[in-house]
Structure 1
Amino acid sequence: MNKLLLTLFVLLLNSAIVLAQTEADTTWRRTFSAGINLNQAAFSDNWRAGGISSIALNSHLDARADYSRGRVTWDNEAQLQYGLIKNKGDEMRKSVDRIYLDTKYGYKFTSDWNAFFSANFLSQFAPGYDDETDADGNKVLVSNFLSPGYLTFALGAEYKPNPSFSLRLSPFAPRFTFLVDDEVAADDRYGVPEGRKVRTEWLAAMVQATFKRDIATNINLRLNYMGYLNYGEFTFKRVDHRLNAVLNAKVNRYINVNLTGNLIYDYDQDADIQYSQSLGLGILYTLQGFSLNR
Structure 2
Amino acid sequence: MFKTRFAVVFLTLFLAAITASAQKTDTSKKDSVKIDTALLNKYRIDPPKNALPVRVRALQIEPELIPLSMLDYKVNYWHKWITFGLNFSQSAFSNNYSAGGVNAIALGTNFDFKTEYNKAPFDYTAELNLIYGISKNKGQGSRKTNDRIFFDNKIATQLSKHWFFFGSLSFESQFDKGFQYTDASGAVLANPLLLSNFMAPGYLTESMGFEYKPVKYFDLRIGTGTARQTFVKDTTIYHNQPANYGVLPGHTFKNDLAFQIVALLDKDFMKNMHINARYALFIPYERPLAYTSHRIDAILTAKVNRLINVTVNGTFLYDKSTSPDPQGTEGMALGIAYRFP
Pairwise TM-score range, normalised by the shorter structure: 0.7 to 0.9
Whether 1:193 and 2:243 are equivalent positions in the alignment is: no
Q: Which residue of 1 aligns with 2:265?
A: 211
Query: What is the CA-CA distance between 1:68 and the residue it aligns to?
Result: 0.9
Query: What is the CA-CA distance between 1:47 and the residue it aligns to?
Result: 4.3
Flag the 1:157–1:123 CA change in 2: closer, same or farther, 3 A. Answer: same
Compute the TM-score of the two structures, normalised by the length of structure 1: 0.84
Q: Which residue of 1 aligns with 2:226?
A: 173
Aligned counterparts of 2:240 and 2:134: Cα–Cα separation in 1 = 23
Question: SS at 2:76's partner residue?
Answer: helix
Whether 1:255 and 2:308 are equivalent positions in the alignment is: yes
* Paired residue type of 1:88: K
Contact 2:235 2:251 in 1 (8 A): no
Q: Which residue of 2 aligns with 1:182?
A: 235
Aligned counterparts of 1:117 and 1:186: Cα–Cα separation in 2 = 37
Whether 1:279 and 2:332 are equivalent positions in the alignment is: yes
Q: Which residue of 2 aligns with 1:106?
A: 156
Give a deviation string over 1:248-274, Cα, whole Å, max 9, x none: 111121111111111111101101111
Q: Structure 1 stretch 109-118 or stretch 254-263: which is displaced more?
A: 254-263
Q: Which residue of 1 aligns with 2:68?
A: none
Contact 2:277 2:297 in 1 (8 A): yes
Q: Runs of 5+ in structure 2 lacking a partner?
A: 1-73, 184-188
Which structure has more relative contact order (CA 8 Å, sep 6+)? It is: 1
Query: Which structure would you say has the larger Rg?
Result: 2
Give a deviation string over 1:92-142, Cα, whole Å, max 9, x none: 100000011000000110111100000111110011111148xx9433211
Q: Which residue of 1 aligns with 2:129?
A: 79
Aligned counterparts of 1:84 and 1:229: Cα–Cα separation in 2 = 33
Query: What is the CA-CA distance between 1:78 and the residue it aligns to?
Result: 0.7
Aligned counterparts of 2:324 and 2:100: Cα–Cα separation in 1 = 34
Name the % identity: 36
Question: SS at 1:173's partner residue?
Answer: strand
Contact 2:258 2:285 in 1 (8 A): yes
Q: Which residue of 2 aligns with 1:18?
A: none
Query: What is the CA-CA distance between 1:49 and the residue it aligns to?
Result: 4.5
Whether 1:36 and 2:90 are equivalent positions in the alignment is: no
Q: CA RMSD in A?
A: 1.7
* Paired residue type of 2:280: M
Q: Runs of 5+ in structure 1 lacking a partner?
A: 1-23, 289-294
Q: Structure 1 stretch 95-104 or stretch 179-188: which is displaced more?
A: 179-188
Compute the TM-score of the two structures, normalised by the length of structure 2: 0.73
